[in-house]
Structure 1
Amino acid sequence: MSDPTQPRSPTPGDDWPAPDLPRGRTFPAQLLLAADLLERITEQGLPADRSLQRELAARRKMGRRDRERVRELTLFVLRQRQVLDWLLDDSAASMAARVAAALSLADALDPVLAEVAGLTPEAAASLARRRAGRFASLPWTVRFNLDPAAAAQWQAWQPDAPETLARALDARAPVDLHANPRHGDRDALIDELAGAEIEARGIAGLPLGVRLERPARLTRLPAFEAGGFEVQDAGSQWVVRALQAQPGERVLDLCAGAGGKSLGLLDEARGQLRLTACDLHPERLDRLRTRTQRHGDTTLELRALDATQALPADLAGFDRVLIDAPCSGSGTWRRHPELRGAAIDWDGLAETQCQLLERGSQATRPGGRLVYATCSLWPAENEAIVEAFLARHPSWTATRPTLEGLPDDAVTPDGWVRLRPDRHGCDGFFIACLQAPGDRPTA
């Protein structure tokens, strides 16, 4: 008699997603650990990547394959939660049950694991029956792993090639680096990585961009300790390049966070900027301060402030202003799958984005350039915010970016930049380049 917890062999068209598990069996302790990590990540709103790195590194007695199995199961559940809940026919399923459903998609669920996960024999049999259907017949919101709020945003946008985009958002993101040209050119960094048995290649269109062929430990490398590179997605690097900051200019990074784009701006101009980085959270600026010390940039000015409020008088007259606005993060779901189910105050977020754009425009000199960017896919956080700003300020103009190497299909008919993981190999980003009124325009 066949095991009722095991799905039948797939037939053509049963293109179900499945976790990429290392060889060997999954033990109950690993299932329960993945479930525990999932509960903490979702309940406490923790970043999945950092949480997994910290928690798994602390389990020194755990083998490499076992750690990778727990990591893969945890991330798979975060990415495929809607699919797993459909299989379980339970939108409030326990995390242990979701891990069991993930194992079933890998043909790795046995009766012991099903019992440990709290699945009754009847529930396990139901799971197997639902798994026997065609994945393509599931509702699109389930296939795309969209909760109701995200589904509404997706439907409002109506992207072309939606299936391809949805699959890309479920995939594992690559590891990208931004080379520091003051340490050596990109080829020298690639050679140094090769010496550490880390395969890497340049990223098309990004002179300082490097992509690893597979994930690797980087923080102990001499090149990292010497400030030779920073980890930075290719999409973020395009945001930096969109500002087109020139040596000697005053530049304001109004929402700097931990400063990846600030460091990128300095690298692009080989350190020859008068750069001010601001953020609401002082602890983020503390991290940036540590990074700048390693990077070799000691003249960067750091300011902790609420940029939705009136800015200090001295924060004015900047040649270029970058607003990397807080957003839903939907474009980063590959890296941060925990954001798929995050509760979002859409009205409050839009108000913050509008206020930041207003403050940024006030800090831009006549003729200067302002770049508004998000790592969101949703027009409500992108085009809608910028178009409302331009309607309030008709003397400002949107400028079509002229960035060498930028894919033609990344620029919309309206002149915005839209980067998609399925087409451009980076996180999803929106970039708007705006020109302040004045007779001394930036280049």
Structure 2
Amino acid sequence: MRLHRNLCFSVIDGLTLIFNEGKYADKVIQQLLKRDKRWGARDRAFVAETTYDIVRWKRLYAEIAEVKEPFDRDNLWRMFAVWATLKGIKLPDWKYFENTPTRKIKGRFDELSKTRKLRESIPDWIDNVGLEELGEAKWTKEIAKQNEQADVILRTNTLKTTKEKLQNILHDQGIATEFIKGHDSALRLIERANVFVTDAFQKGLFEVQDASSQLVADFLDVKPGMKVVDTCAGAGGKTLHIASLMENKGQIVAMDIYESKLKKLKVRARRNGVHNVELKVIDSTKPIKKLYNKADRVLIDAPCSGLGVLRRNPDAKWKLEPEFLDRIRATQQDVLQQYSRMVKPEGKLVYATCSVLPSENQNQIKTFLKSEAGANFSLIKDKNVFAHTSGFDGFYMALLERKG
């Protein structure tokens, strides 16, 4: 591979924003990719994937390059040189790469890779939490898998097409996909591609959604004609899946504390041909209380650490703090206590997170069931999904039923 100066400069600019200004990697990369209209697919892929790669391995590369935060541009070029050397890319004769000790880089990589927190490039405290909650064998496998690039998975919008038809349509547009066993609506891209520019996407034939995330709506056991509340809907990936399972019949109330996210859901719903969704901003306890004992199904896709989706959000591990984990556990239990009241007798509730930590998952359910609010519920089933066993995002989901 030959390095091009303008592409490398874009990566360094992006890393400056992510590491030194705390910007979110996905937003930064979106901006970087708009820089030059002449860039082709390979150029864009280089900028996106190289930036994500260096974000993912920040701690390891910084240790090898012997640089410390905050990183100035020279530091970032040193980290870039580490990335290139470990990828086997020949460094061009640029001033930024003068005196790069390529042999020493490989030696330090071998040495540092003996220690898990350096090899997997994670903060000490995250390594300690994972070790404590999952045990050494499981945590070692899971965090290694979380450092691999995630596949692109599509969810077929069954309101408009079938999985088989969608596969053929995408094939005609030069995008090869394959089915995934155990996932009724999912297609996996065989090679990465920008699916958002396709006619199929513009027509609402699919959404991008990981295979593990697609299990949640299925877990909720919805039927056409039901009243369903998605309490932490966000931009609506699971809301739209629920709508397709309900065949656009019945009512879905999509709630969130962020109005901006619900506005995105409105746009996506229109594109998907979904018309049974009512949007509600949670700006007080009033919208919640109005729904007490009214819902056949309630989904709580709870806020969490996101430690099950680090493959997609590698910068999250540098933004997370131990205090956040304590706060989010309290929030999760509070949400369970409050939102569970919307379930009517003999109705069902799903609690889900994109975390792999028992303290955010099954322990929260145990605490809830022992509480006064949880006394009317029984656990039907739950499911832990780990990246290292499934190949997809880490997730947890529990199905509870309210007694009659």
TM-score, structure 1 length as denominator? 0.82
The RMSD of aligned alpha carbons is 2.3
Shift of 1:76: 0.9
Question: In structure 2, the residue corresponding to 1:132 is in which secondary structure?
Answer: helix
Tell me what 1:351 maps to.
330
Task: Tell me, yes or no, if the aligned pair for 2:288 and 2:342 is still in contact at 8 Å.
Answer: no
- Structure 2 vs 1, CA of residues 57 and 362 (structure 1 numbering), >3 Å: closer, same or farther? same
Distance in 2 separating the partners of 1:432 and 1:277: 20
Q: 1:110 to 1:312 in 2, by over 3 A?
A: closer
Paired position in structure 2 for 1:101: 82
Gap runs ≥5 in structure 2: none
* Contact kept? 2:112, 2:118, Cα under 8 Å: no
What code does the residue aligned with 1:427 have?
Answer: D
**Given that residues 206 and 237 in structure 1 are in contact (C-alpha distance below 8 angstroms), is that contact kept between their aligned partners in structure 2?**
yes
Q: Distance in 2 between matches of 1:283 and 1:217?
A: 25
Name the counterpart of 2:52. 75
SS at match of 2:400: strand
- Structure 2 partner of 1:340: 317
Instruction: Supply the distance in 2 between the matched residues of 1:295 and 1:135 (Cα, whole angstroms).
Output: 51
Matching residue of 1:131: 106
1:49-98 C-alpha deviation (Å, 9 max, x unpaired) = 34323322331234543433222221111111122122123443533322
Residue matched to 1:268: 245
Distance 1:45-1:419 versus aligned 2 partners, 3 A rule: farther
| Alpha-carbon distance between aligned partners in 2 of 1:396 and 1:176, rounded to the nearest angstrom | 34
Equivalent in the alignment of 2:260: 283
Matches for 1:379-390 after TM superposition, within 5 Å: 379-390=358-369
Match of 2:96 in 1: 116
Q: Partner of 1:325 in structure 2?
A: 302
Alignment of structure 1 residues 9-20 onto 2, 5 Å = none
1:211 aligned counterpart, secondary structure: strand
Kept in 2, the 8 Å contact 1:399–1:433? The answer is yes
Q: 1:93-126 deviations in whole A, cap 9, x for unaligned?
A: 533322221112123353745x426xx74xx43x
One of 385, 400, 403 as aligned partner of 1:434: 400
SS at match of 1:336: coil
User: Could you report, residue by residue, the CA deviation over 1:178-237 in whole angstroms, capped at 9, with x for unpaired residues?
Assistant: 112221211111111111111112221121111111222223333222221111111110
Q: CA deviation at 1:244?
A: 0.8
Mapped contact 1:177–1:231 kept (Cα < 8 A): yes
* Equivalent residue letter for 1:49: D
2:230 maps to 1:248: no
Aligned to 1:378: 357
Q: Which deviations, in whole Å up to 9, do the C-alpha atoms of 1:128-177 show, x marking residues without a partner?
A: 32522536852111112211231122112235444443332111111111
> Does the C-alpha gap of structure 1 residues 45 and 253 become closer, same or farther in structure 2, counting only changes over 3 Å?
farther
Deviations 1:346-395 (A, max 9, x none): 22212211111112211111222111111112222222322221221344
Aligned equivalent of 1:210, options 177, 180, 187: 187
Residue type matched to 1:362 in 2?
R
* AA matched with 1:397: S
Alpha-carbon distance in 2 for matches of 1:372, 1:314:
21
Query: Which SS does the other structure have where 1:398 is aligned?
Result: strand
Match of 1:154 in 2: 130
8 Å Cα contact 2:156/2:206 also seen in 1? yes
The TM-score with structure 2 as length reference comes to: 0.90
Question: Partner residue of 2:145?
Answer: 168
Structure 1 runs, 4 residues or longer, greater than 6 Å off: none
Deviation at 1:298, TM superposition (A): 2.0
Alpha-carbon distance in structure 2 between the residues aligned to 1:306 and 1:398: 30
The unaligned stretches of length 5 or more in structure 1 are: 1-22, 401-415
Match of 2:275 in 1: 298
Contact 1:311 1:359 in 2 (8 A): no
- Return the alpha-carbon distance in structure 2 between the equivalents of residues 62 and 247 of structure 1: 46
- Distance, in Å, in 2 between the alignment partners of 1:64 and 1:40 is 23
> Are 1:53 and 2:19 matched, yes or no?
no
Kindly provide the amino acid, as one letter, of the partner of residue 316 in structure 2: L
Amino acid at match of 1:55: L
Partner Cα separation in structure 1 for residue 255 and residue 22 of structure 2? 24
Kept in 2, the 8 Å contact 1:32–1:96? The answer is no
2:215 corresponds, among 212, 220, 238, to 238
Partner-residue secondary structure (3-state), 2:146: helix
Distance 2:370 2:343 in 1: 18
Q: What's the counterpart of residue 387 of structure 2? A: 421
Of 164, 175, 189, the residue aligned with 2:166 is 189
The total of aligned residue pairs comes to 393
User: Are 1:243 and 1:370, in contact at CA under 8 Å, matched by a contact in 2?
Assistant: yes
Tell me, in whole angstroms, the C-alpha distance in 2 between the residues paired with 1:211 and 1:103.
29
Give CA-to-partner distance per residue, 1:272-302, whole Å, 9 cap, x none. 2310000111111111001111111223100
SS at match of 1:219: helix
Determine helix, strand or coil for the equivalent of 2:304: coil
SS state at 1:57 partner: coil
Q: Percent identity among equivalent residues?
A: 28
Q: Answer yes or no: is 1:40 the counterpart of 2:17.
A: yes
